[in-house]
Amino acid sequence: MELTYLTYEVRGDVAILGLNRPQKRNAISDAFVEELAMLVRRAESEAKAGVIHGHGPHFCAGLDLAEHVKKTPFEGVHGSRRWHEVFGWMQKGKLPWFAALHGAVVGGGLELASSVHVRVADSTAFFALPEGQRGIFVGGGASVRSARLMGLARMTDMMLTGRSVDVDTAERWNLVQYVVPEGEALEKAIALAAHAATNAEISNYAIINALPRIQDMSTDDGLFVESFIASFTATSPEAEERLNAFLTKKVGKVANPNA
């Protein structure tokens, strides 16, 4: 099938999705979201991990404002709910997703980046939520996901003042986990995704589906649910094999970063 808004390739066990509307700074229209939806599902059947990145000078300028300005309020609600659904397939789906960020990661672009599991950004990346200045509100999940990453005070500041933050600030704020030199984010994200793809599938599924849910629970409920997931994953044949591989010294130890 011919793609209009994204590129797609599978390298080893890793599906690589590229936002590919650089002339509009990868602004996300309704048709763009539908293509993304189709590719997320395709990646789930063809890969064990996924990477999302942007072609052109920026990762993503967010919502397509030219399309949005023509919508009725109710069409806007449906559009927002569709973003929630599709981004939710990434956050709580079958694959661990990694984002490679550069240039503008703004508005809906930051919401998309907040929906994946690990964010790698190069030194050109900058982050903003200009919705307040545009007379709108976040609608792609930022009030839930981005706010949980950076915290309420920082997100409120960003939205009220239009503050744009550089990559080092974004790392301090927990918006990104890895900072790399210019042009190196994609390869780093692919390498991390390829590594995650070697984990037991059941562990990856538990990590991406249980952790965010447990974050939303009380301490008592979270610990209770954790014990069942721990026990369930440990009884899988794959866990037995992997545990024995360690005990019989067939696999390496945990790396010591100070060595």
Q: Does 158 bind ligand 1HE (CB under 6 A)?
A: no
Which of 8, 42, 80, 191 touches ligand 1HE by CB under 6 A? 80
The minimum distance between CB 37 and ligand 1HE, in angstroms, equals 14
Q: For residue 219, what are the contacts with CB-CB under 8 A and spacing of at least 6?
A: none
Number of residues that bind ligand 1HE (CB under 6 A): 24
Residue 180: beta bridge partners? 122
Task: Pick the closer one to ligand 1HE by CB: 18 or 139.
Answer: 139
Residue type, 48: K
Spell out the long-range contacts of 1-8 with Cβ–Cβ below 8 A and sequence spacing 24 or more. Answer: 1/38, 3/35, 3/39, 4/31, 4/35, 5/29, 5/31, 5/32, 5/35, 5/36, 6/32, 6/35, 6/36, 6/39, 7/55, 8/39, 8/42, 8/43
Q: Does 106 bind ligand 1HE (CB under 6 A)?
A: yes
Binding pattern to ligand 1HE, positions 206-225, x when CB under 6 A? Answer: --------------------
> How many residues would you count in the chain?
259
The minimum distance between CB 82 and ligand 1HE, in angstroms, equals 9
The minimum distance between CB 38 and ligand 1HE, in angstroms, equals 19
Q: Please choose, out of 126-134, 169-177, 178-186, 196-204, the segment that lies near ligand 1HE by the rule CB under 6 A.
A: 126-134
Cβ pair 79, 44 in contact under 8 A: no
Q: Does 35 bind ligand 1HE (CB under 6 A)?
A: no
Q: Which 8-state DSSP code applies to residue 254?
A: P
Q: Please choose, out of 57-65, 92-100, 116-124, 214-222, the segment that lies near ligand 1HE by the rule CB under 6 A.
A: 57-65
The single residue of 34, 131, 171, 226 carrying the catalytic annotation is 131
Structure tokens at 164: 């744009």
Catalogue the active-site residues: 111, 131
